[in-house]
């Protein structure tokens, strides 16, 4: 004990006691530092995990929204819903067909779909793969009301809920359905895809590398868990999560990290991410106890070491003083190396004392930090894989310069540039000039915080020079307290969708044009009918004047001029009827090459010296059922137009060939014709061409670009009408300054000989029965509602010896027939009359006697009468107006002189 009596001994004892303080302090500081570093690293790891899961989740939801939008564009679904809404056909049959289409053609496209439903404008489910849901009224449900607010091409994600029909928790996504008949995309209902909420678990329930208590889960705006829990079974849509981070995130819309009690009441270290699009909160958490478990042992070791050191300091003070400096120095060197980035560095001290424990704790801590760092690297690698392998283009762009900072493979594929080329390029360099200004304005708003994100359609210029339509969504990269220096852009290639929309617009324009021509055609047909009646009356009176012997020769010349003008007026009405496809035609089996060759003589006679002419007939001996005169007139009209279009000379080519036209060709050009084999006759010139703005009007009657007096505007309208009356159609392609090509398509004749023979039979019989003597004494019933025409025909028949019973309408004709039916030999009936039409009068006469011959007359041709329900059966006599009185007399005499009665 004498050593303690000396100053040296006291100093030694004091020194030994003092030496215990640094040991305890080092242990405490190390514990606190290690705890804070571990806490920070774990929060960073959880934040990275949460961000990665968020991106993965958004990508998954966007793909399901895209699927729903794709379903909403299905023409079958839209047409059938519209038919159901309008009550067309059987409602039950339509519903069954639509439901079968959803189940067989749509649901198999996505294995995650539990059910598909179609809802009308009133919120009534009209078709569904959930049979129990059909007929249910969901107008008060959020999924319907929000879906009807959307613009076409968008989708809404509804809240997750339990579906009693599918007995599963589902996530509903809806998109509006629009009418294909409406020009303004009128909404007719919605389509709802129901997905198993379990698809969200594929993102959240991967627990690898998260210890025994780490978990990731989703919470909706009602603070209810919508994915599975690691700790509770059947937690989805049931487990309430009213925790502090959930409340703060939903209130502020900002991400949160820290230590807090979770929904079990257990303290956890967590990171929360706000998913603004759906008001969801994504949480990545690990129990605090598990995270700091190994530090608790360090804390306990430090306390035990401090207490034991105080007792043993006096006994082992000298030994401690001599032996402690070397291992501490080793520990210091190892710590410095570890801090400099060498995470594989370890303390090589094997002792059982406090220094040994400290070295072991350090080694343990270093091992865990190394493992966490490896996990963080793997997480970053997974995020990089998601970025690179995304199905859409993703890029990070410098907000100030527009330079690409990072791009994925899909982005490069869309633009055609390599990644290296993209990173040396600015967004402005590949943007179409017309779309550039709007994009710069939106980016400026992002920088100022006026926009959180923006989406728009724009055009990129591909590396090969072509235009690529894309749909972009841009959002800024924020750092707290700073303005955004970069923004993320997600790009989807929609070029194909744009092309489809353009094709639909072209088909719509074809339909509108065809409907307009049909309307004009019916109008001209009606005008021609009324004009025919007037012409026939004038023609009759002029013939009466001509027959008057008192009229001098000079007047006879005037009368002949009147009759010639009437013939021209009749030709004009035939032109109008040709345009409206109402003209009566004489169909025969004709080899089309012979018609083309016959028109060559006409063509050579009108060609100027500066025009070259060439005919190339490929389809020889190809027969069509046609009126030779009309087809010749069509070709001559087109020849004349082609020559007029080449005032300075050029080349005129005429060619023909067989072509097999399918349904796709007919639909693309808007022609309502059967697919099959057609003869195509092309007339091409190298003239002035036709401007694009007037191309849709060239077949309209009286439309012309020629000078006054040089064109009537009926040439092409006659071509259009005549060709369509033959069951064909006409196409026109032209480029101003380069020339025009008209192509006529006429259906090839399959059963050669049969059709033409039937058409000729009636004409041959008529010619055989014609006689030069047109007088008679028989009684004739004349029914005509036009007074002037009735009077002139009555006068004419009486002049030639006939006894005429005249009637002003259908009822009058029936009354006079019944009064004089014993003497009436023949009836001349106008087909269209007030009260009763000519066919109805004929049927009444037939019921009472079958010995009266009948002639039908009309300014309309037989085909339009059929359209109006007035059918003149085969074998009855039909005379189109205008007909000369002499022509009518020949017809009457022919029928009366026939040996076999016709009616």
- Alpha carbons 656 and 396: distance in angstroms, whole number: 59
Residue 7 has pLDDT above 50, yes or no: no
User: What's the start-to-end Cα distance of the chain, in Å?
Assistant: 158
Query: pTM of this prediction?
Result: 0.36
Burial label for 280, CB within 10 Å (0-12, 13-18, 19+), is buried
**pLDDT band for position 873 (50/70/90)?**
low
Six-digit token string for 870 = 């007035």
Phi, then psi, of 170 in degrees rounded to 5: -125, 160
Q: Which residues contact 315 (CB under 8 A, 6 or more apart)?
A: none
Widest Cα–Cα separation across the chain: 180
What pLDDT score does 707 carry?
56
Strand partners, 272: 256, 283
C-beta pairs of 593-596 under 8 Å, 24+ apart in sequence:
593/617, 593/619, 593/620, 593/621, 593/622, 593/656, 595/626, 595/628, 595/631, 595/632, 595/635, 596/635, 596/654, 596/656, 596/681
> SS3 for 82?
helix
Q: How far is CA 610 from CA 54, 606, 640, 685, 689, in A?
A: 75, 12, 15, 13, 18
**Which of the pair, 34 or 163, is modelled with greater confidence?**
163
- Alpha carbons 84 and 119: distance in angstroms, whole number: 11
Could you read off the pLDDT of 273-318 as tens digits, one per residue?
999 888 899 999 988 888 777 766 666 766 676 666 655 555 555 5
C-beta pairs of 706-709 under 8 Å, 24+ apart in sequence:
706/644
Question: With pLDDT > 70 as the criterion, what percentage of the chain qualifies?
Answer: 77
- Alpha carbons 379 and 384: distance in angstroms, whole number: 9
What pLDDT score does 396 carry?
87
Q: What is the rounded radius of gyration, in angstroms, for the C-alpha atoms of the chain? A: 47
What pLDDT score does 288 carry?
86
What pLDDT score does 900 carry?
42
- Alpha carbons 885 and 903: distance in angstroms, whole number: 23
- Alpha carbons 689 and 667: distance in angstroms, whole number: 26
Do the beta carbons of residue 700 and residue 517 sit within 8 Å?
Answer: yes
Lowest average pLDDT, out of 126-140, 539-553, 701-715, goes to 701-715
Could you read off the pLDDT of 203-247 as tens digits, one per residue?
888 777 677 888 999 999 999 999 988 888 888 888 999 999 999
Mean pLDDT of the chain: 79
Lowest average pLDDT, out of 93-102, 299-308, 355-364, goes to 299-308
Residue 147 has pLDDT above 60, yes or no: yes
Could you read off the pLDDT of 592-644 as tens digits, one per residue?
778 887 777 667 767 777 888 888 887 667 888 887 777 888 888 888 888 88
Residues comprising the chain, all counted: 903
What pLDDT score does 770 carry?
41
Considering only CA atoms, which of 868, 814, 885 is closest in space to residue 846?
814
Could you read off the pLDDT of 546-588 as tens digits, one per residue?
666 565 666 766 676 676 666 656 655 665 555 554 555 556 7
Count CB-CB contacts under 10 A for residue 466: 10
């Amino acid at each position: 004990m004498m050593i303690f009596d000396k100053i040296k001994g006291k100093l030694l004892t004091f020194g030994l006691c003092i030496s215990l303080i640094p040991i305890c302090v080092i242990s405490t500081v190390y514990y606190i530092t290690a705890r804070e570093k571990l806490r920070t690293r774990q929060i960073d790891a959880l934040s990275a995990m949460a961000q990665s899961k968020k991106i993965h989740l958004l990508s998954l939801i966007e793909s399901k929204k895209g699927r729903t939008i794709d379903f909403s564009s299905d023409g079958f679904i839209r047409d059938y819903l519209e038919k159901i809404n309008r009550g067309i056909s059987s409602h039950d049959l339509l519903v069954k067909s639509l439901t079968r289409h959803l189940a067989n053609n749509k649901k198999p496209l996505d294995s995650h779909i539990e059910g598909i439903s179609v809802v009308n404008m009133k919120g009534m489910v009209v078709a569904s793969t959930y049979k129990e849901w059909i007929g249910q009224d969901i107008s008060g449900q959020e999924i319907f009301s929000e879906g009807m607010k959307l613009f076409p091409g968008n989708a809404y994600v509804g809240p997750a809920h339990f579906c009693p029909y599918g007995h599963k928790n589902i996530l509903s996504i809806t998109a509006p359905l629009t009418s294909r008949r409406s020009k303004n995309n009128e909404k007719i209902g919605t389509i709802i895809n129901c997905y198993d909420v379990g698809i969200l678990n594929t993102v959240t329930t991967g627990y690898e590398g998260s210890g025994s208590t780490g978990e990731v889960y989703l919470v909706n705006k009602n603070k209810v868990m919508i994915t599975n829990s690691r700790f509770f079974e059947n937690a989805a849509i049931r487990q309430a999560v009213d925790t502090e981070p959930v409340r703060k995130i939903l209130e502020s819309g900002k991400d949160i990290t820290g230590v807090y009690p979770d929904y079990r009441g257990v303290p956890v270290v967590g990171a929360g991410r706000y998913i603004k699009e759906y008001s969801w909160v994504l949480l990545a958490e690990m129990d605090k106890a598990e995270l700091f478990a190994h530090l608790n042992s360090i804390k306990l070791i430090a306390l035990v070491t401090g207490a034991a050191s105080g007792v043993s300091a006096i006994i082992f003070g000298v030994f401690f003083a001599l032996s402690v400096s070397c291992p501490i120095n080793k520990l210091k060197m190892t710590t410095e190396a570890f801090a400099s980035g060498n995470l594989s560095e370890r303390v090589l001290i094997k002792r059982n004392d406090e220094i040994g424990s400290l070295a072991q704790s350090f080694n343990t801590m270093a091992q865990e930090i190394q493992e966490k760092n490896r996990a963080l690297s793997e997480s970053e690698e997974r995020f990089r894989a998601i970025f690179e392998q995304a199905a859409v283009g993703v890029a990070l762009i410098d907000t100030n310069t527009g330079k690409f900072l990072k791009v994925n493979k899909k982005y490069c594929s869309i633009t055609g540039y390599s990644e290296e080329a993209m990173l040396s390029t600015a967004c402005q360099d590949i943007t179409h000039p017309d779309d550039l200004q709007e994009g710069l304005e939106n980016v400026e708003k992002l920088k100022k915080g006026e926009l959180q994100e923006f989406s728009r359609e724009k055009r990129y210029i591909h590396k090969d020079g072509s235009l690529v339509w894309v749909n972009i969504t841009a959002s800024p990269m924020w750092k707290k307290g700073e303005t955004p220096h970069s923004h993320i852009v997600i790009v989807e290639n929609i070029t194909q969708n744009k092309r489809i929309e353009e094709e639909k617009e072209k088909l719509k324009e074809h339909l509108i044009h065809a409907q307009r021509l049909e309307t004009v055609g019916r109008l001209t047909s009606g005008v021609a009918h009324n004009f025919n009646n007037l012409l026939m009356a004038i023609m009759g009176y002029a013939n009466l004047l001509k027959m008057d012997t008192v009229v001098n020769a000079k007047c006879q010349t005037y009368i002949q001029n009147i009759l010639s003008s009437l013939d021209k007026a009749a030709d004009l009405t035939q032109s109008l009827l040709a345009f409206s496809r109402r003209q009566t035609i004489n169909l025969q089996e004709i080899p089309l090459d012979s018609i083309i060759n016959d028109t060559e003589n006409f063509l050579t006679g009108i060609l100027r010296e500066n025009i070259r002419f060439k005919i190339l007939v490929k389809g020889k001996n190809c027969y069509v059922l046609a009126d030779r005169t009309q087809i010749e007139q069509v070709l001559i009209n087109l020849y004349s137009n082609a020559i007029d279009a080449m005032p300075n000379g050029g080349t005129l080519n005429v060619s023909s060939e067989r072509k097999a036209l399918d349904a796709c060709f007919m639909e693309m050009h808007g022609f309502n014709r059967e697919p099959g084999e057609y003869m195509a006759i092309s007339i091409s010139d190298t003239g002035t061409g036709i401007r694009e703005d007037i191309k849709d009007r060239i077949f309209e009657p009286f439309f012309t670009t020629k000078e006054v007096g040089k064109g009537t505007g009926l040439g092409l309208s006659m071509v259009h009408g005549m060709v369509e009356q033959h069951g064909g159609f006409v196409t026109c392609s032209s480029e101003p300054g380069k020339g025009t090509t008209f192509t006529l398509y006429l259906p090839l004749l399959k059963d050669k000989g049969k059709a033409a023979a039937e058409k000729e039979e009636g004409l041959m019989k008529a010619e055989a029965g014609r006689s030069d003597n047109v007088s008679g004494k028989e009684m004739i019933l004349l029914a005509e509602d036009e007074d002037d025409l009735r009077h002139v025909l009555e006068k004419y028949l009486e002049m030639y010896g006939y006894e005429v019973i005249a009637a002003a309408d259908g009822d009058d004709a029936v009354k006079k027939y019944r009064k004089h039916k014993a003497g009436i030999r023949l009836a001349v009936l106008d087909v269209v009359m007030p009260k009763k039409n000519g066919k109805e009068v004929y049927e009444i006469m037939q019921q009472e006697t079958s010995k009266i011959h009948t002639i039908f007359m009309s300014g309309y041709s037989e085909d339009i009468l059929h359209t109006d329900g007035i059918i003149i059966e085969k074998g009855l006599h039909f005379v189109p107006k205008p007909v000369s009185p002499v022509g009518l007399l020949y017809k009457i005499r022919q029928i009366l002189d026939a040996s076999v009665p016709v009616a």
